[in-house]
Amino acid sequence: MARSLHGSVSPVLMFMALILLSVIPSSICRILNENDLKHICLKTSDPYECLDQFKSDNRSRNTDEKGLADIAIDLAMKNANETHAMYNELYSRTSDYGLQEKYMSCSKNYNDAIRDLEEVKYELNNNRTKLIHVEINDALQEVNTCIRAFERDQIDPVKMDTANERSKLLCYMVKFAAESLVQK
């Protein structure tokens, strides 16, 4: 009797164990390793720079996926802040009306991108990860608008390409880090 009871219970236990095993990995906060970072960075246009950026923040050595998304947001915000300040500075230093106009619009683009990133941070803190892609796409659109303003005329005497490209990359890092949260 005991044997047959054992025989009927254990498949149920095994089934439950299987369910638990399939649930646990997605609900615990796993600490990420370098391969996890590479996996996210390989989705970007510049995996090496992406990895360098993540590593520039020493929190990335001991964090889970939510923490990594948070780091990406902080990096993107810091960069957008700096780029915004650079455009304001360039604006104040030129007397070329055409350039002033472009610097002004890029400054506004970055101002709005910073707002979008603040929204992203808010959504992440409130666990509304599914909404992040909307805000981060808005931020990307702002950066791209600024890039395009200069592409049309080729009159960018101060090469801002590097700062703009970095802003774009950092936004994609936020996007892909957040996507890996949503997929869970």
Ligand X SMILES: *[C@@H]1O[C@H](CO)[C@@H](O)[C@H](O)[C@H]1NC(C)=O
Binding residues for ligand X, per CB under 6 A?
58, 77-78, 81, 126-127
| Least distance between ligand X and beta carbon 164 (Å) | 18
Nearer to ligand X, 71 or 156 (CB): 71
Nearer to ligand X, 103 or 110 (CB): 110
Whether the CB-CB separation of 155 and 99 falls below 8 Å is answered with yes
The residues, any chain, with a CB within 8 Å of residue 43's CB and separated by 6 or more, are 172, 176
Nearer to ligand X, 30 or 78 (CB): 78
Judged by DSSP in three states, 160 sits in coil
| Least distance between ligand X and beta carbon 10 (Å) | 33
Nearer to ligand X, 63 or 150 (CB): 63
| Least distance between ligand X and beta carbon 77 (Å) | 4
Of 139, 144, 108, the closest CA to residue 123 belongs to 139
* Neighbouring C-beta atoms of residue 12, cutoff 10 Å: 9
